[in-house]
Amino acid sequence: MEGRRCDAERIASYAVESLLVEVAATPKPGLVDRANNGAHADMDFFTFQRSAAALAPHFTAFVRAGAEHGGSLETLLFVLRPLGRTAESAMYAHTGGVNTHKGAVFSFGILLGAAGWLGAHGEPLTANRLLDAARTICTGLCRADYGTLAKNAVPATKGQAAYLTYGLTGVRGEAEAGFPLVKEHALPLYRTRRAEGMPLNDALVDVLLVLMAHNMDTNILGRHDLAMLQCVQAEAARIVGLGGMGTEAGRAAVTAFDAQLIAAWVSPGGSADLVALTHFLYEIEQFERFKET
């Protein structure tokens, strides 16, 4: 049990690290980074640092809950969701009521719970196994959360609004599908960039761009319409085609894109959360390899 607790703290530390490196990556179009506050008036770089620090013990609690869960993965979500609400309360208390990491708390809660459960059952913490476990944990989630919403209902959240207006399931749908944007686009690119020796900052920005190019980001739709989201996706894809942070033209385009999104008040916060998940999965796999040596 002592070893399990130490592993829980170690695994949770990678999640906190992931939040910290994500916000530090610069420039991030429309998002808070070390250079500016992006398309936000209520938060800055230090707000995110305070939030990440506040979440550390709660991330450990997610891992332990998974490790101590006596049931199946299919029943683990019922254990994790109350812990998620407690973590959100801690976040708001440390940020003065600002929503910095609500989406990340949901996604990391699932992956950390999965990590605890898999570890307790002697399974390796590979990215594929963690993502498969996340899919199992979230089976039926969208139907449970959105299936009873009437078409003329007044949405209580931005997620509900995106579902009622566009039929998009946002982070819930991404989790229930096993985070395919991370598995199919972000993580393969991140592994390549890190293997190539690209600086961590630039690799993270490149991952953000590829996610923005593919993600139907409900954060953007919370402020704007589908046409704006499609414009953001197209420009992100264009910059990826230029070589992203690996070329002079790509770097210049990222900086210009940042200014454009700030001026238009566009924040791709859903993609930012997936950047953090990508880094987490990468680091967990490195941790597993280290344990085997």
Helices 102-120, 2-24: axis angle to 10 degrees equals: 150
Where does residue 101 fall: left (phi above 0), alpha (psi -120 to 50 degrees), or beta otherwise?
alpha
Distance CA 130, CA 280 (A): 11
The percent of residues in the chain predicted with pLDDT above 90, rounded, is: 89
Q: Residue 154 — pLDDT band, cuts 50, 70, 90?
A: confident
Q: What's the pLDDT band for 2 if we cut at 50, 70, 90?
A: very low
CB 87 within 8 A of CB 105: yes
Place of tokens 């590979």: 126
H or E element, residue 57: helix 45-68
Upstream peptide bond of 155 is cis (omega within 30 degrees of 0): no
3 state DSSP class of 10: helix
Task: State residue 160's pLDDT score.
Answer: 86
Q: How far is CA 215 from CA 29, 52, 114, 133, 209, in A?
A: 14, 24, 24, 22, 10
> How would you classify residue 27: left for phi > 0, otherwise alpha for psi between -120 and 50, otherwise beta?
beta
Q: In this model, does residue 158 exceed pLDDT 90? A: no
pLDDT score at 3: 44
Single-letter amino acid, residue 250: G
Lowest mean pLDDT among 27-36, 158-167, 263-272, 275-284: 158-167
Upstream peptide bond of 188 is cis (omega within 30 degrees of 0): no
HSE-up (13 A, CA, CB side) for residue 163 = 23
Instruction: Indicate if the pLDDT at residue 5 is higher than 70.
Output: no
Which residues, in sequence order, are CB contacts of 280 under 8 Å at separation 6+? 14, 15, 17, 18, 108, 111
**Contact present, 158 and 222 (Cβ < 8 Å):** yes
Report the alpha-carbon distance of residue 248 to residue 268 in Å, rounded.
Answer: 23
Show me where the domains of the chain are located. 2-292
What is this structure's pTM? 0.95
User: What is the model's pLDDT at position 288?
Assistant: 80
Instruction: Give pLDDT tens digits for 50-92.
Output: 999 999 999 999 999 999 999 999 999 999 999 999 999 999 9
Question: Span 122-126, mean pLDDT?
Answer: 94
